[in-house]
């Protein structure tokens, strides 16, 4: 980034890089954004961290400092970042503002640094309001830019919008979400998600070929998402069943979460005539996971991957699949679709927040929630390998424009034009 480096960034997010703290796209966004910033700027990431790790830690070869917050609560909440959620939100909101002011903002301002606060999701809304108000009390608010980002609509009913808009500049992740915010009478800046540059490294097609060889199927589809009705799980299952009835040897590789809706998805798969088998891996290595998938696929139409999927494994799955079903009905941004593009895969998106997707150019953009549409496009691409390969090549080119380094150029530019919001309602 060809920009001045006398900026100190503070990132506030419930989720973060620890396994304990990762629950979805928010964790990936906060972690990768902070790491990219930390290669060029003094950066501090505050998140609800693993209680067994250091409370404060500097990431080697970067200027990024991790601050694991709420650890005293997390010690009694072993099931992850959102266990004890309300208690953690209160502790986060109460304790972070004074700490950040005294230990980060004041020292940074004494060095003539600009300070930029980047906060994520409803959990940090109260925190940034208190931080802004306390900065006013210290006479420092005009020296600090505060941005609050809406990654999703979760928790919108818990936000005091008048107070939040008075104390921060509102951002969001896509034009789709920008329109959602406009319906609330709020103008927002769009700062999209990004991907780490390492996802664009040369693809090991040997691992992809190995997977296809082991599963021995005409069509392989992958779906990675929380088990939520809006994520399009039932549509993915039904599309797989339709392809099977069409006579194709189709396989769905599924990785969901621990949400109860998963039981309904598995039931519907079996009710549709699909054989479902769980796959367990002895370790997290790509080879071990591919072995587990190959073994489970011998007598299954749906392989339910019951293991952690590393970025490298996901890259292999996305590249090897004929379709990666990121077919959500409501997707604020759609990080899986972009990660699929980086892997040279064919993303099937739901057509909401995926600003990067162009239908039949670099992805398949679904117009409906009808599983028939998935079936038809999978069949079309199966018959037209040349077109499928063109989509894969264009997808890689698109992903190059969405690395965090590229996204942050736009972020810093927008921050430069941000003015202090009025404190009046």
What 3-state class would DSSP assign to 185? Answer: coil
Residue 422 pLDDT > 80: no
Q: What is the pLDDT of residue 144?
A: 96
Task: State in words which class domain 7-194+404-416 has.
Answer: alpha beta
pLDDT single digits (tens) 224-272: 999 999 999 999 999 999 999 999 999 999 999 889 999 999 999 999 9
Task: State in words which class domain 198-400 has.
Answer: alpha beta
Q: Calculate mean pLDDT across residues 371-381.
A: 98
**What percentage of the chain has pLDDT greater than the value 90?**
89
CB atoms within 10 A of CB 314: 21
pLDDT single digits (tens) 338-352: 999 999 999 999 989
Residue 202 DSSP code? P
Give residue 312's pLDDT band: very low, low, confident or very high (50, 70, 90): very high
**What percentage of the chain has pLDDT greater than the value 70?**
96
The answer to whether the CB of 32 falls within 8 A of the CB of 140 is: no
pLDDT single digits (tens) 120-159: 999 999 999 999 999 999 999 999 999 999 999 999 999 9
Determine phi and psi for 42, rounding to 5 degrees. Answer: -65, 120
Biggest CA pair distance of the chain? 71
Residue 105 pLDDT > 80: yes
Closest of 191, 188, 176, 219 to residue 328, by C-alpha: 176
**Integer angstrom CA distances of residue 21 from 68, 242, 403:** 10, 38, 23
Residues of the chain with CATH 3.40.50.2000: 7-194+404-416, 198-400
Closest of 343, 332, 275, 260 to residue 309, by C-alpha: 343
Q: Find all residues with CB under 8 Å of 352, minimum gap 6, and list them.
A: 174, 176, 328, 329, 330, 331, 332, 334
Q: What is the pLDDT of residue 204?
A: 84
Print burial letters for 383-395: b (CB count within 10 Å at least 16), e (below 16).
eeeeebeebbebb
pLDDT single digits (tens) 28-80: 899 999 999 999 999 999 999 999 999 999 999 999 999 999 999 999 999 99
Q: Calculate mean pLDDT across residues 318-346.
A: 96
User: How many Å apart are CA 161 and CA 224, to the nearest integer?
Assistant: 33
Q: What is the pLDDT of residue 4?
A: 56
Rg of the chain, C-alpha, whole Å: 22
The answer to whether the CB of 349 falls within 8 A of the CB of 323 is: no
The answer to whether the CB of 8 falls within 8 A of the CB of 114 is: yes
Q: What is the pLDDT of residue 246?
A: 94
């Amino acid at each position: 980034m060809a920009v001045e480096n006398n900026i100190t960034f503070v990132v506030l997010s419930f989720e973060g890089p620890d396994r304990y703290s990762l629950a979805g796209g928010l964790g990936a966004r906060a972690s990768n954004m902070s790491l990219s910033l930390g290669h060029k700027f003094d950066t501090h990431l505050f998140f609800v961290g693993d209680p067994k790790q250091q409370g404060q830690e500097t990431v080697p070869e970067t200027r990024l400092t991790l601050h694991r917050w709420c650890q005293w609560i997390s010690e009694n909440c072993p099931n992850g970042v959102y266990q004890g959620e309300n208690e953690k939100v209160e502790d986060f909101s109460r304790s972070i503002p004074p700490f950040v002011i005294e230990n980060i903002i004041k020292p940074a301002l004494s060095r003539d640094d600009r300070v930029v606060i980047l906060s994520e999701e409803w959990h940090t809304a109260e925190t940034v309001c208190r931080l802004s108000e306390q900065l006013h009390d210290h006479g420092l608010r005009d020296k600090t830019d505060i941005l609050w980002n809406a990654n999703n609509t979760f928790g919108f009913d818990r936000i005091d919008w008048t107070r939040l808009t008075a104390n921060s500049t509102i951002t969001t992740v896509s034009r789709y979400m920008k329109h959602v915010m406009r319906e609330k009478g709020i103008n927002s800046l769009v700062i999209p998600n990004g991907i780490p540059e390492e996802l664009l490294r040369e693809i090991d097609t040997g691992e992809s070929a190995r997977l296809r060889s082991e599963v021995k199927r005409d069509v392989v589809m992958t779906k990675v998402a929380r088990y939520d009705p809006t994520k399009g799980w039932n549509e993915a299952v039904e599309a797989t069943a339709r392809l099977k009835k069409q006579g194709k040897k189709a396989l769905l590789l599924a990785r969901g979460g621990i949400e109860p809706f998963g039981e309904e998805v598995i039931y519907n798969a079996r009710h549709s005539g699909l054989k479902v088998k769980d796959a367990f891996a002895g370790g997290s290595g790509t080879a071990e996971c591919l072995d587990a998938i190959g073994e489970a696929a011998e007598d299954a139409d749906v392989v339910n991957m019951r293991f952690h999927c590393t970025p490298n494994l996901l890259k292999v799955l996305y590249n090897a699949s004929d379709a990666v079903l990121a077919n959500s009905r409501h997707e604020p941004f759609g990080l899986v679709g972009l990660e699929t593009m980086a892997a040279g895969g064919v993303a099937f998106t739901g057509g909401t927040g995926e600003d990067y997707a162009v239908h039949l150019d670099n992805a398949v953009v679904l117009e409906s929630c009808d599983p028939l549409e998935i079936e038809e496009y999978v069949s079309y691409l199966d018959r037209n390998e040349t077109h499928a390969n063109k989509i894969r090549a264009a997808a890689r080119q698109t992903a190059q424009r969405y690395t965090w380094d590229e996204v942050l150029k736009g972020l810093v530019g927008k921050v430069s034009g941000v003015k202090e919001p009025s404190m009046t309602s």
